[in-house]
Structure 1
Amino acid sequence: MDGKIIGFIIWSALGLLFIILAVYSLFTKKPMRFWANADVFEVTDIKAYNRAISKLFSLYGVVIIILGLPLLSGQNSAWILLSIVGLMIASILLMIIYTNRIEKKYRKR
C-alpha cells in the first residue's frame, strides 16, 4: 500500500473517532463531557445538550476527514499546510462554538 494512502487512512480514523463519539453522545443518558478533566456543568435539558454536542462532534469529524484529502497528493506537496492549518482553525472554532453557543444555552442558571 502506498504511504500517502496509509497516511490518509490514519488521518481519517481520527475523524471517524469523532463521528463515533457523536453517535455515542446521542444515546447516553448523562451529559456528555467536552473538556477532558472538567466536570460537566448542570445542564437544563440533557437530551438537547447531547444532541447539540453530537452535531458538533460529527461536523468536526467530517471536517477532519475532508482536511485530510491533501495527504493523497503526495509527500512533498505544499497542500499539506492546508491540512495542518485547517485542523488548528477547526479545533479553535470547535471550542468557540461550544463555549459561546452550547454552554451558554444549556447551562443551568
Structure 2
Amino acid sequence: MGFIIWVLFGMLFIMGGIYCINSKKEVAFGFWADAKTTPIEMKNIKAYNKALGKLWCAYGFFFILLGIPLLGEQNSPLIIITSIGVILELIIVMAVYTIKIEGKYRKK
C-alpha cells in the first residue's frame, strides 16, 4: 500500500513536468515556494519551462525508483535507502535548477 501511494506522488511530479514541457503559456513556471509572489524574468520562457519540466520528470522517475524498498517487508532497514536517497535527490535537483537552469535562462 505504501509503495502505491509513493508511486502516485511520483506520477504527480511526472505529470507536472509534462504539463510544464507542453505548456503554451508565456509565463515562466516557478521552482521555489514563493514563485507566485515573485515574478520570474527569463530570456527564453519556453526553453526554460521545457528544461524545468524535464527536471521534474527526472525527479519523479527517480523518486519512484527510490520507493522500491517499500515493496519489502515491514520495518525493513532498506527504508534508509529511500530516506537518504530522497534527501540527496532533493539537494541535487536544487543544485541543478540553481546552477544550470536558472543560471542559463535568467535575465541579468
TM surpasses 0.5: yes
For residue 6 of structure 2, the aligned residue among 7, 11, 30 is 11
Equivalent positions of 1:18-29 (< 5 A) are 18-28=13-23, 29=25
Q: Which residue of 2 aligns with 1:79?
A: 78
Q: Quick check: 2:12–2:60 contact (8 Å CA) kept in 1?
A: yes
Q: Quick check: 1:32–1:40 contact (8 Å CA) kept in 2?
A: no
Once the 2 structures are TM-superposed, how far is the Cα of residue 74 of structure 1 from its aligned partner? 1.2
Amino acid at match of 1:8: F
- Percent identity at matched positions? 45
Once the 2 structures are TM-superposed, how far is the Cα of residue 40 of structure 1 from its aligned partner? 4.0
Q: Which residue of 2 aligns with 1:59?
A: 58
SS in 2 for 1:99: helix
Structure 2: stretches of 5+ with no match in the other structure: none
Q: Which residue of 2 aligns with 1:32?
A: 29
Whole-angstrom CA distance in 2 between matches of 1:84 and 1:65: 12
SS in 1 for 2:30: coil
Once the 2 structures are TM-superposed, how far is the Cα of residue 23 of structure 1 from its aligned partner? 1.1
Whole-angstrom CA distance in 1 between matches of 2:85 and 2:93: 12
For normalisation by structure 1, the TM-score amounts to 0.91
Larger mean CA deviation between 47-56 and 20-29 belongs to 20-29
Residue 40 and residue 89 in structure 1: after superposition, are their counterparts in 2 closer, same or farther (change >3 A)?
A: farther
RMSD of Structure 2 on Structure 1 (CA): 1.0
Whole-angstrom CA distance in 2 between matches of 1:12 and 1:45: 32
Deviations 1:7-51 (A, max 9, x none): 001111111110011011123311111011132421000111011
Once the 2 structures are TM-superposed, how far is the Cα of residue 76 of structure 1 from its aligned partner? 1.9
Q: Quick check: 2:17–2:56 contact (8 Å CA) kept in 1?
A: yes
Structure 1: stretches of 5+ with no match in the other structure: 1-5
Deviations 1:34-84 (A, max 9, x none): 011132421000111011001100000000000000000111211110000
